[in-house]
Amino acid sequence: MTAPGAHITTIPAHIRRRLAAALENGLLPETPTPITLESVLGLRHGAEQITSDLEALARLGIRGKAASGWIRTIEQAIDSAPAIDLVWSGPEVLGLHARDTSRVYEELLRNAQLSVWISTYAYFDGPRAFADLAHRLETMADLRVALLLNIQRTRGDTTDPEHLVRRFADRFWGTDWPGATRPDVYYDPRSLELDGPTGVLHAKALVVDDESVFITSANLTEAAFDRNIELGLLTRDRRLAASITTHFQTLIDTKLLRPLPSA
Beta bridge partners of 206: 118, 214
Tens digit of pLDDT per residue, the chain (263 long)? 456 677 788 787 788 888 999 999 999 988 889 999 889 988 877 788 889 889 989 988 998 999 999 998 887 776 666 678 889 888 877 766 667 999 999 999 999 999 999 999 999 999 999 999 999 999 998 999 999 999 988 888 888 999 999 999 999 999 999 999 999 999 999 999 887 667 789 999 999 999 999 999 999 999 999 889 999 999 999 889 999 999 999 999 999 999 999 86
Rounded distance, CA 86 to CA 234, Å?
7
Architecture of the CATH domain 99-259: 2-Layer Sandwich (3.30)
Rounded distance, CA 203 to CA 122, Å?
10
Residue 25 makes CB contacts below 8 A (sequence gap 6+) with: none
Rounded distance, CA 117 to CA 145, Å?
6
